[in-house]
């Protein structure tokens, strides 16, 4: 008998992508065949995001799309949005089941007990309150990239006033150092070249078990992974500035495996706004972090998340953020216009910023980001460096990354995929991508 087919669609962050992969592997272990979303599958799983704007509209669209490929398919929705609005999603025509954060990793077993609801009836909902999401489920993305995103932490105990993630993913919890090391060793055996450590609040790594005891911390993890043979490159996906300790920065500066690349959320350059956002640092601490990184690793790449148009952000405070970032030695910005989320504190604050201003401020900072990126890239023209090529092809071109996350373009060559090449960076093209020339020497890669 032919295997049943399952297809996935993922919205949102890398964590979601790694969890989709993990759920996909569970299906395969149960004898399912994983097919692409465009194929006719028996089951479609849509992994949603709560941070995406218009999550509802996007989810509807994907459900419709799935049923276009197979009108008889069983459609299931999981993920952050499914946890926040299970009933609403169950009402979307064509949705047969909705699973919450505590249930999504039991998807295969749970689905076995479900039949399609009667025509016109809402989908089954299987979502416990978020307080039930206490277990840690390991996950990693695999199969389509040289780089693998490895989830080592989930949930968040902070209460930033704009953020809905703690409501969608629950409290902070982690894998153990020992278990992450074993996973990394296994990944190394499969030929993975680069691992990006991923979590919701990664720097808070270490809370384990039902008691959520802290026996280990993120620094312990970084030190242990640096000893694992077989993986050439590690990156830290994102770390709150108050948790990115001096010892971690100093360690990365000494490490051969942890790349000189940091992503540190700032959100605002105004201390008043940081306070309203309930962030756990002031701008002065952020400056200290950047200065230490640049002092120890002048070539390091630093990415910054910023939110503009937060309630109460005046034109003056926005300019404070702009000025702050303009003067700071960082390499690129991820800019998000503030967007109201239900059940968070921020929408109740006075001083709503008009949408028009939110978008103008976003554009201004995105333009600044392009300038900063170009400046960072131009500083490296002429440098010889190792580039790890990935397998995405666009218009006959492929891309690879240097240790400090400079994106290098090259003509597509399947033999380059997954290869670490020593190249000379030659010029920054009009699309803000780096061009390079070959030196012909392949560098050693485990």
| Contact residues: ligand SF4, CB under 6 A | 156, 158, 160, 163, 165-166, 200-201, 240
Q: Tell me how far, at minimum, the Cβ of 171 lies from ligand SF4, in Å.
A: 11
Helix runs in 86-240, H state only:
86-90, 107-112, 165-169, 177-189, 218-226
**Closest separation between CB of residue 276 and ligand SF4, Å?**
13
Cα–Cα distance measured from residue 262 to residue 297, given in angstroms and rounded to the nearest whole number: 11
- The nearest distance, CB 34 to ligand SF4, in angstroms, is 30
CB 16 within 8 A of CB 47: yes
Length of the chain measured in residues: 446
Closest separation in Å from C-beta 277 to ligand SF4: 8
For residues 123 and 199, which CB has a smaller minimum distance to ligand SF4 in the complex? 199
Q: Tell me whether residue 154 or residue 175 sits nearer to ligand SF4 (CB atom).
A: 154
Comparing CB distances to ligand SF4, the nearer of 18 and 385 is 18
Nearest-approach distance from CB 160 to ligand SF4, in angstroms? 3
CB of 70 to ligand SF4, least distance (A): 36
Contacts 24+ apart (CB under 8 A), 116-122: 116/74, 122/87, 122/90, 122/91, 122/95
Closer to ligand SF4 at the Cβ: 201 or 321?
A: 201
Shortest CB 12 distance to ligand SF4, Å: 13
Rounded to a whole number of angstroms, the minimum distance from the CB of residue 281 to ligand SF4 is 11
Nearer to ligand SF4, 200 or 420 (CB): 200
Category of 10 on φ-ψ map: left (φ > 0), alpha (ψ -120 to 50) or beta = beta
| Token output for 379 | 């500083």
Tell me how far, at minimum, the Cβ of 397 lies from ligand SF4, in Å. Answer: 34
> Based on CB atoms, which residue is closest to ligand SF4, 163 or 328?
163
Query: What is d(CA 392, CA 216) in angstroms, rounded to the nearest whole number?
Result: 37
Closer by beta carbon to ligand SF4, 97 or else 302: 302
Which tokens hold the place of 141?
């993305």
Q: Are 285 and 241 in contact (CB under 8 A)?
A: yes
Nearer to ligand SF4, 165 or 306 (CB): 165
Query: Cα–Cα distance between 212 and 189 in angstroms, integer?
Result: 31
Structure tokens belonging to residue 240:
């709150």
Question: Which C-beta is closer to ligand SF4: that of 163 or that of 192?
Answer: 163
CB 304 within 8 A of CB 329: no
Is the Cβ of residue 153 or residue 385 nearer to ligand SF4 in the bound state? Answer: 153
Positive or negative: CA dihedral 50, 170, 136, 75: negative
Tell me the HSE value of 161 on the side-chain side, using a 13 A CA sphere: 16
Work out how close the CB of 390 gets to ligand SF4 at its nearest, in angstroms, rounded to a whole number: 27
Cβ(302)–Cβ(290) below 8 Å: yes
Contact 394, 385 (CB under 8 A): no
Work out the angle between the directed axes of helices 355-378 and 315-327 (0-180°, nearest 10): 10
């Amino acid at each position: 008998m032919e295997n049943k087919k399952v297809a996935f669609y993922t919205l949102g962050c890398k964590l979601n992508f790694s969890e989709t992969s993990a759920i996909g592997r569970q299906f395969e272990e149960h004898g399912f065949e994983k097919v692409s979303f465009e194929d006719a599958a028996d089951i479609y799983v849509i992994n949603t995001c709560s941070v995406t704007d218009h999550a509802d509209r996007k989810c509807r669209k994907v459900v419709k799309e799935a049923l276009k490929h197979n009108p008889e398919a069983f459609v299931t929705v999981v993920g952050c949005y499914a946890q926040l609005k299970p009933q609403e999603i169950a009402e979307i025509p064509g949705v047969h089941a909705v699973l919450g954060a505590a249930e999504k990793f039991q998807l295969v077993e749970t689905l076995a007990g479900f039949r399609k609801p009667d025509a016109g009836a809402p989908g089954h909902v299987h979502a416990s309150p978020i307080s039930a999401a206490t277990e840690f489920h390991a996950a990693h993305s695999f199969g389509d990239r040289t780089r693998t995103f490895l989830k080592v932490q989930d949930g968040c105990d902070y209460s930033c006033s704009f953020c809905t993630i703690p409501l969608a993913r629950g409290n902070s919890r982690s894998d153990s150092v020992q278990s992450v090391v074993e996973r990394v060793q296994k990944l190394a055996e499969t030929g993975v070249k680069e691992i990006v450590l991923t979590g919701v609040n990664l720097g808070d790594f270490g809370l384990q078990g039902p008691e959520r005891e802290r026996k280990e911390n993120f620094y312990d993890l970084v030190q242990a992974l640096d000893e694992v043979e077989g993986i050439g490159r590690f990156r830290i996906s994102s770390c709150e500035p108050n948790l990115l300790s001096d010892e971690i920065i100093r360690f990365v500066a000494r490490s051969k495996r942890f790349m000189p690349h940091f992503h540190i959320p700032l959100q605002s350059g105004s201390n008043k706004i940081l306070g309203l956002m309930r962030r756990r640092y002031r701008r002065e601490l952020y400056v200290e972090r950047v200065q230490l990184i640049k002092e120890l690793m002048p070539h390091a790449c630093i990415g910054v998340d910023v939110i503009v148009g937060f309630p109460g952000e005046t034109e003056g405070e926005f300019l404070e953020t702009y000025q702050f970032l303009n003067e700071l030695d960082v390499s690129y910005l991820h800019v998000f216009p503030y967007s109201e989320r239900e059940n968070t504190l921020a929408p109740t604050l006075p001083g709503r910023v008009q949408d028009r201003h939110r978008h103008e401020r976003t554009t201004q900072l995105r333009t600044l980001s392009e300038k900063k990126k170009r400046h960072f890239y131009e500083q490296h023209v002429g440098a010889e460096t190792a580039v790890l090529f990935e397998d995405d092809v666009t218009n006959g071109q492929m891309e690879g990354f240097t240790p400090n996350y400079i994106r290098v373009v090259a003509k597509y060559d399947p033999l380059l995929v997954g290869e670490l090449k020593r190249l000379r960076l030659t010029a920054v093209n009009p699309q803000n991508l780096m061009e390079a020339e070959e030196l012909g020497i392949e560098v050693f890669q485990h």
